[in-house]
Structure 1
Amino acid sequence: MAKRIDVQGLTAYYGSHKAIEGITLHVEPRSVTAFIGPSGCGKSTFLRTLNRMHEVTPGGRVEGKVLLDNEDLYGPGVDPVSVRRTVGMVFQRPNPFPTMSIYDNVAAGLKLNGTRLRKSQLDDVVEKNLRGANLWNEVKDRLDKPGSGLSGGQQQRLCIARATAVEPEVLLMDEPCSALDPISTLAVEDLIDQMKAQYTIVIVTHNMQQAARVSDRTAFFNLAAIGEPGRLIEVDSTEKIFSNPSVPATEDYISGRFG
């Protein structure tokens, strides 16, 4: 089941540096929310706080709350590894495990989690998630070949299949198309549109057209000056953000006046 995300007064640090400050945001289940804003405003940092990847960075720490269906992901006793199973992540550049086959890449998360399945069950999981990533027909005859031998767009869809194989409830995507050609980008965007029926999806993108195409809601981030923390400026339906934003800075960014 896809889950609702409620962020309350979140501030994130790198050591003593405050990267983002005072963010409150609600993300509805089975929807796509896009984060937009100029480089350096904290979009990717904020994304990584949603599955506790931020604290993996040396000096990374968070104040505030991230609630997943009312459970605080930063609450006492909450296992970060368990959080990352529930809130999966797809990174900017495709990162299939280079020494693993296509099959083993999809199955990797299950094995790392200690999930015990018969070979026939594992076969079904691999096929189901490769089909879900619209990749099965392209790779079904070479599942034993290295995942690194696929094209960039295929590798990114393989990474999506790997992320969904562990059955997360939320899927985070950090500029998943920035390294892809236009045809591969369209394939991933189509996949995002299909997956929102099952997952809560949050995507960071620098591509305004992509945000307009794939998202239901858009959040605009900005910072007052270099060295200042990033802040959430405005969040609303994507249609409103792109047609009639409430904050002048949002319109300035979308129209290309800065950023």
Structure 2
Amino acid sequence: MSKRINAIDLNVYYGDFLAVEGVNIDIEPRSVTAFIGPSGCGKTTFLRTLNRMHEVLPGARVEGQLLLDDDNIYDTAVDPVTVRSMVGMVFQRPNPFPTMSIRDNVLAGYKLNGTRLSRSQSDQVVEEALKGANLWNEVKDRLDKPGSGLSGGQQQRLCIARTIAVKPDVILMDEPCSALDPISTLAIEDLINELKDTYTVVIVTHNMQQAARVSEKTAFFNIAGTGKPGKLIEYDETTKIFSNPSKKDTENYVSGRFG
């Protein structure tokens, strides 16, 4: 598990509107990369291109290449469903399936893919995924209870367990802590630091302290104005982005002068 991501001259469109322009980025495997920038600058749009999730909107398309290791996920022969099994997504707000038990939430990916597991295989998947999400000890005695009955932080870790249960190579996180309290946020950040030992992790965050805490590299996106495309302004080691950025726009953003 864990793959390198390369975007090469990637443009993202919604119909005729160019939403993100000319992204070139190389994301290392087994690492955490943070996307930062003001609202509307294209960072979440670009994140969603990494598993073709943006394509659920009519008219969405990309130009350029996006490679997982050496495979272009936008090749015409590639099935988007296959891509999404390799590149999992954790969303801004915890979204366990409300009618499903904790156990069935973890196994949801297998059921959606039509994969049949024996009871012993299911038990193993559930335990491993919940342990991987640091949730097993808290829920092991109530696996048949609804996932919606957990606290917000536990629900987000359940969603992470659901994501890692199908053994992806990459985990995308779109502001995974924005709806959580500080204690739950710390638990998710600790988990992210553990996940990078196995997965390539990419996180969008508006919390610059969080980016500094969890990521090795940071990408700063910005936008010139309403109706203009978002652009990748600077991408470097996180310590450099926050202490000695190369671009004036980056310095202005991380120092709080705008955004």
TM bucket (normalised to shorter chain) is: over 0.9
Distance in 2 (CA, whole Å) between partners of 1:243 and 1:236 is 11
The DSSP-based 3-state class of the residue aligned with 2:258 is coil
Q: Which residue of 1 aligns with 2:147?
A: 147
Distance in 1 (CA, whole Å) between partners of 2:16 and 2:113 is 34
2:225 is aligned with 1:230 = no
* Matched AA of 1:250: T
| Structure 2: tracts of 5 or more residues without a match | none
Shift of 1:114: 2.1
* Matched AA of 2:155: Q
* CA-to-aligned-CA distance 1:13-37 (integer Å, 9 cap, x gap): 1111111000010000000000000
2:252 is aligned with 1:221 = no
2:74 is aligned with 1:64 = no
Distance in 1 (CA, whole Å) between partners of 2:148 and 2:60 is 31
Shift of 1:66: 0.4
Q: Which residue of 1 aligns with 2:250?
A: 250
Q: Which residue of 1 aligns with 2:30?
A: 30
TM-score, normalization by structure 1: 0.99
* CA-to-aligned-CA distance 1:134-189 (integer Å, 9 cap, x gap): 11111111110100111110000000000000000000000000000000000000
Q: Which residue of 1 aligns with 2:173?
A: 173
Distance in 2 (CA, whole Å) between partners of 1:179 and 1:15 is 31
Q: Which residue of 2 aligns with 1:124?
A: 124
TM-score, normalization by structure 2: 0.99
Distance in 2 (CA, whole Å) between partners of 1:44 and 1:59 is 17
Q: Which residue of 2 aligns with 1:189?
A: 189
Q: Percent identity?
A: 74
2:203 is aligned with 1:203 = yes
* CA-to-aligned-CA distance 1:103-139 (integer Å, 9 cap, x gap): 0000110121122221011101101110110111111
Distance in 1 (CA, whole Å) between partners of 2:186 and 2:41 is 26
* Matched AA of 1:116: R
| Structure 1: tracts of 5 or more residues without a match | none
* Matched AA of 1:111: K
The DSSP-based 3-state class of the residue aligned with 1:25 is strand
2:115 is aligned with 1:115 = yes
The DSSP-based 3-state class of the residue aligned with 1:76 is coil
Which deviates further from its counterpart, 209-218 or 53-62? 53-62
Distance in 2 (CA, whole Å) between partners of 1:121 and 1:78 is 29
* CA-to-aligned-CA distance 1:194-242 (integer Å, 9 cap, x gap): 0000000000000000000000000000011111000000000001101
Distance in 2 (CA, whole Å) between partners of 1:91 and 1:220 is 20
- Root-mean-square deviation (CA, aligned residues, Å) is 0.6
* CA-to-aligned-CA distance 1:51-110 (integer Å, 9 cap, x gap): 000111122111111000110000021000000000000000000001000000001101
* Matched AA of 1:77: A
Q: Which residue of 2 aligns with 1:103?
A: 103
- Equivalent pairs counted in the alignment come to 259
Q: Which residue of 2 aligns with 1:39?
A: 39
